[in-house]
């Protein structure tokens, strides 16, 4: 029988189908690790190509004029070694979790980043969750009402969202909600009369809830509001337009017509059939949007004095703090890779053809 | 069949389907007998598929239907008018009383949903069955359409089956809520020739069971000759000829039907066509 050759054994038989996905996952993880090495090389080379003398930037003019101090500084930070040696030293230290010492804060870069990362994650995650929810809802509505007035309104609005510069929007919102209306709290992550909640995740809202401090949670949430809003407006336009296109394509599929012919309620058709079908392209663009959010945070964090990776990057760059700059570059690169890895693995979860293909 | 019951499961009268500028179907009549297979033949673009979609009220937004499509009740003389019916009425008919099988099972089954889910979601919705009950019934359905290892098949995905098995699954999905009318739109066109016969035989058996009437839409008169009881030939949105199978294949009345028959491979039809010339 030629027909049965195409048929695979049922899933339940011990581990036979676990293998393909495991292999798939392993391959993706290994590729990502290789890419991390690539990222270290790129950040290292780029950082050292920057014109400008880190010694002068760190020491100030008078100290930089004293050759003894300069020599000592160069020796302390290993800057007197050839670049290749510096790179391998950097890699070796990296393996021990050592990113060097920041020449501006004089703290280990790892510690600085560990402190800054949760702040950035808190606004970035908040913004991506919010923009996915809004983008999927609006994009689906626009697709269903294709060509009608509401579709056109949504398209114009999302295009406007895409076109407005983030920093300008941040400034305007800050001015209106803080200076004029006094609705939003000032800059930073917490008001001065609140103390940081006990550290668990580093996300203040989550930590405050875990500690049962409702006041702190509300204050942290109100501080999140504006930066998250700005970042959401930045990505939601992109997501809405993309979801609309993806849903329109799926609406044309036979399986959607078949689901309608089954008399399923519209709600079920949208959730179980249309959005499930569109989930893979949507996932791809969510990954991309999250990546661009991470870089979008730099200006937003600067405006809202948000002590995250963006502020740290800004500060490190303006002081030519090479270990700091490399640390941030590496971290953002790794986060990009991590997001891509998660997206790849989620493809496997969402699509049985990826998961079960050998 | 008692005389009080309408002998036709589905009666189409003066059905017109049109966009703003075009007429797709220009007023056709068709009666689908209970327990029979009625073939609807014609070249692509002749309005066959749109006729089937009009029965379910699933025409594309740019098209409107007028005329009458009456769906007879399973018991008793009453019937339901489907043209212009409310959304609620149509939702109760779709999948429950009239089901549809599409041309290509590799696109009409959702690739990301397990077969069991696609077999049971409308059962649970229309018949109010529990999860376990619905799965049991789904397993029985897969057995009925002869998909091997029905229980194991429920948790598999469409891509894990061959084309012929997929179409059997799609037929099982259509049969799940015990409809009285099955609309089969080119159900064998996307299948290998070797598998086609099996699927057609299955359709014949289902109709012979007595409770199901099948409207078989196809451009392939070879398929018609294999299973249909009556055949209606359409061209450019109009019916050119409608007759019992034997009569249509042995003594076609219309020139267009004759040319279609002449185009068939296989000696007997060819002779029929040539004799007619």
Position B275 scores a pLDDT of 41
- Tokens representing A225? 């509001």
Do the domain assignments include residue B149?
A: yes
Over range B251-266, report the average pLDDT.
Answer: 82
A1: pLDDT strictly greater than 60: no
Do the domain assignments include residue B244?
A: no
Report the distance separating Cα A347 and Cα A345, nearest Å.
5
Over range A174-192, report the average pLDDT.
Answer: 84
pLDDT band at A76 (very low <50, low <70, confident <90, very high): confident
Of A8, A261, A264, the CB nearest to B56: A261
Task: Using alpha carbons, select from B38, B35, B48 the residue that is nearest to residue B244.
Answer: B38
How does pLDDT run across A88-142, given as a tens digit for each residue? 888 898 888 888 888 889 999 999 999 999 999 999 999 999 999 999 999 999 9
Q: Answer for the pair B207, B34: CB distance below 8 angstroms, yes or no.
A: no
What distances in angstroms separate CA A91 from CA A85, A95, A111, B30, B220, one per listed residue? 10, 6, 18, 79, 69
Report the distance separating Cα B261 and Cα B252, nearest Å.
9
- Tokens representing A277? 């079908």
Distance of CA A263 to the CA centre of its chain: 41
How does pLDDT run across B208-237, given as a tens digit for each residue? 987 899 999 998 888 888 899 999 999 989
Of A3, A253, A276, the CB nearest to B113: A276
- The alpha carbon of residue A58 is apart from the nearest alpha carbon of chain B, in Å, by 57
Q: What percent of chain A has pLDDT over 90?
A: 39
- Tokens representing A125? 């995650």
Q: Lowest-pLDDT range, A3-12, A169-178, A314-323, A337-346?
A: A3-12
Position A48 scores a pLDDT of 79
Position A8 scores a pLDDT of 46
- The alpha carbon of residue A340 is apart from the nearest alpha carbon of chain B, in Å, by 21
Report the distance separating Cα B28 and Cα B139, nearest Å.
39
**Nearest 5 degrees, angle CA A284-CA A285-CA A287?**
70
Residues constituting chain B: 277
Strands B238-244 and B230-235: antiparallel
Q: Answer for the pair A256, A315: CB distance below 8 angstroms, yes or no.
A: no
Position A285 scores a pLDDT of 93
- Provide ipTM, 2 decimals: 0.88
Position A179 scores a pLDDT of 84
Q: Name the interface residues of A facing B (CB cutoff 8 Å).
A: 3-4, 6-8, 10-12, 253-255, 257-265, 268, 272-273, 276-277, 279, 350-353, 356
| Mean pLDDT of all residues belonging to chain A | 86
Over range A171-177, report the average pLDDT.
Answer: 88
Over range B128-149, report the average pLDDT.
Answer: 93
Q: Answer for the pair A297, A120: CB distance below 8 angstroms, yes or no.
A: yes
- Tokens representing A124? 């970035």
Position A52 scores a pLDDT of 66
Burial class (CB within 10 angstroms; exposed 0-12, middle 13-18, buried 19+) of A306: buried
Q: Answer for the pair A70, A59: CB distance below 8 angstroms, yes or no.
A: yes
Burial class (CB within 10 angstroms; exposed 0-12, middle 13-18, buried 19+) of A98: middle
DSSP B158: G
Count of domains in chain B? Answer: 1
Q: Name the interface residues of B facing A (CB cutoff 8 Å).
A: 56, 58, 90-96, 99-100, 102-104, 107-114, 117, 121-122, 125-126, 148-149, 152-153, 155-157, 159-162, 164-165, 170, 173, 195
A260: pLDDT strictly greater than 50: yes
pLDDT band at A274 (very low <50, low <70, confident <90, very high): very high
| Higher pLDDT among residues A302 and B114, named by residue | B114
In three-state secondary structure terms, B9 is strand
Full domain range(s) for residue B125: 104-178
Do the domain assignments include residue B162?
A: yes
Residue with tokens 């979601």: B121
Report the distance separating Cα A146 and Cα A244, nearest Å.
9
Q: Do A262 and B152 touch (CB under 8 A)?
A: no
Position B274 scores a pLDDT of 41
- Tokens representing B117? 């889910």
Q: What is the DSSP code string of B244-263?
A: EHHHHHHS--SHHHHHHHHT
B120: pLDDT strictly greater than 90: yes
Do the domain assignments include residue B158?
A: yes
Over range B162-167, report the average pLDDT.
Answer: 92
The number of beta carbons lying within 10 Å of the beta carbon of residue A40 is 19
What are A333's strand-pairing partners?
none
Substitution target in B159, B177, B186 with the highest count of A β-carbons within 10 Å is B159
pLDDT band at B68 (very low <50, low <70, confident <90, very high): very high
How does pLDDT run across A226-237, given as a tens digit for each residue? 999 999 988 898
Do the domain assignments include residue B86?
A: no
In three-state secondary structure terms, A87 is helix
Within chain A, residue ranges assigned H as helices are: 18-49, 54-59, 61-64, 67-76, 83-95, 109-144, 149-163, 166-174, 204-210, 214-251, 254-261, 266-268, 275-303, 309-318, 322-350, 352-356
Q: Lowest-pLDDT range, A62-71, A251-260, A316-325, B80-89?
A: A62-71
**Which residues of chain B are within 8 Å of residue A346 when distances are taken between CB atoms?**
none
What are B8's strand-pairing partners?
B33
Phi/psi for B230 (5° steps) reads -125, 150
CATH class of the A99-319 domain in this structure: mainly alpha
Phi/psi for A190 (5° steps) reads -145, 150
């Amino acid at each position: 029988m030629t027909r049965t050759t195409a048929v695979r054994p049922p899933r339940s038989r011990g581990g036979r189908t676990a293998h393909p996905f495991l292999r798939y996952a392993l391959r993706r993880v290994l590729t990502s690790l290789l890419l991390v090495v690539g990222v270290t090389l790129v950040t290292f080379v780029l950082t050292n190509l920057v014109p400008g003398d880190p010694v002068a930037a760190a020491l100030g003019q008078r100290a930089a004029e004293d050759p003894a101090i300069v020599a000592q500084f160069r020796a302390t930070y290993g800057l007197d070694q050839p670049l290749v040696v510096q790179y391998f030293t950097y890699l070796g230290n990296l393996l021990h979790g050592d990113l060097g010492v920041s020449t501006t804060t004089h703290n280990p870069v790892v510690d600085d980043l560990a402190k800054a990362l949760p702040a950035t994650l808190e606004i970035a995650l908040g913004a991506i969750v919010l923009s996915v929810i809004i983008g999927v809802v609006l994009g689906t509505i626009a697709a269903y009402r294709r060509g009608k007035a509401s579709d056109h309104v949504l398209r114009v609005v999302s295009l406007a969202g895409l076109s407005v510069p983030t920093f300008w929007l941040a400034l305007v919102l800050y001015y209106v909600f803080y200076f004029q209306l006094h609705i939003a709290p000032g800059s930073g992550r917490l008001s001065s009369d609140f103390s940081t909640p006990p550290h668990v995740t580093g996300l203040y809202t989550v930590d405050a809830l875990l500690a049962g401090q409702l006041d702190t949670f509300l204050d942290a949430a109100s501080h999140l509001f504006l930066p998250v809003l700005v970042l959401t407006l930045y990505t939601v336009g992109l997501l809405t337009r993309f979801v609309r296109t993806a849903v329109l394509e799926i609406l044309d599929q036979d399986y959607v017509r078949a689901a309608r012919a089954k008399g399923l309620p519209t709600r079920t058709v949208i959730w179980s059939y249309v959005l499930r079908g569109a989930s893979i392209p949507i996932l791809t663009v969510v990954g991309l949007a999250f990546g661009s959010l991470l870089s979008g945070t730099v200006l937003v964090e600067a405006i809202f004095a948000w002590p995250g990776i963006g502020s740290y990057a800004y500060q490190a760059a303006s002081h030519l703090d090479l270990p700091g700059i490399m640390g941030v570059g590496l971290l953002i690169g790794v986060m990009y890779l991590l997001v891509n890895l998660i997206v790849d693995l989620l493809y496997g979860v969402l699509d049985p053809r990826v998961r079960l293909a050998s | 069949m008692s005389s009080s019951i309408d002998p036709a499961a589905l009666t189409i009268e003066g059905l017109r389907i049109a966009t703003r500028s075009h007429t797709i179907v220009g007023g056709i009549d068709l009666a689908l007998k209970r327990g029979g297979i009625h073939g609807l033949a014609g070249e692509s673009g002749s309005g066959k598929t749109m006729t089937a979609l009009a029965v379910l009220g699933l025409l594309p937004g740019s098209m409107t239907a007028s005329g009458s499509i009456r769906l007879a009740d399973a018991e008793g003389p009453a019937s339901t008018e489907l043209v212009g019916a409310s959304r609620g009425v149509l939702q109760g008919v779709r999948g429950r009383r009239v089901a549809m099988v599409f041309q290509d099972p590799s696109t009409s089954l959702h690739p990301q949903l397990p077969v069991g889910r696609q077999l049971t979601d409308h059962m649970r919705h229309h018949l109010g069955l529990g999860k376990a009950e619905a799965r049991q019934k789904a397993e029985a359905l897969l057995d009925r359409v002869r998909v091997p290892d029905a229980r194991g098949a429920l948790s598999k995905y469409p891509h894990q089956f061959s084309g012929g098995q997929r179409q059997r699954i799609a037929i099982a999905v259509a049969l799940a809520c015990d409809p009285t009318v099955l609309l089969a739109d080119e159900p064998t066109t996307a299948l290998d020739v070797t598998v086609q016969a099996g699927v057609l035989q299955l359709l014949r058996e289902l109709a012979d069971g007595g409770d199901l009437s099948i409207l078989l839409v196809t451009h392939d008169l070879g398929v018609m000759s294999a299973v249909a009881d009556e055949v209606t030939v359409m061209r450019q949105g109009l019916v050119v000829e409608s007759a019992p199978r034997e009569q249509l294949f042995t003594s076609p009345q219309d020139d267009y039907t004759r040319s279609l028959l002449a185009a068939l491979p296989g000696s007997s039809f060819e002779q029929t066509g040539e004799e007619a010339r």
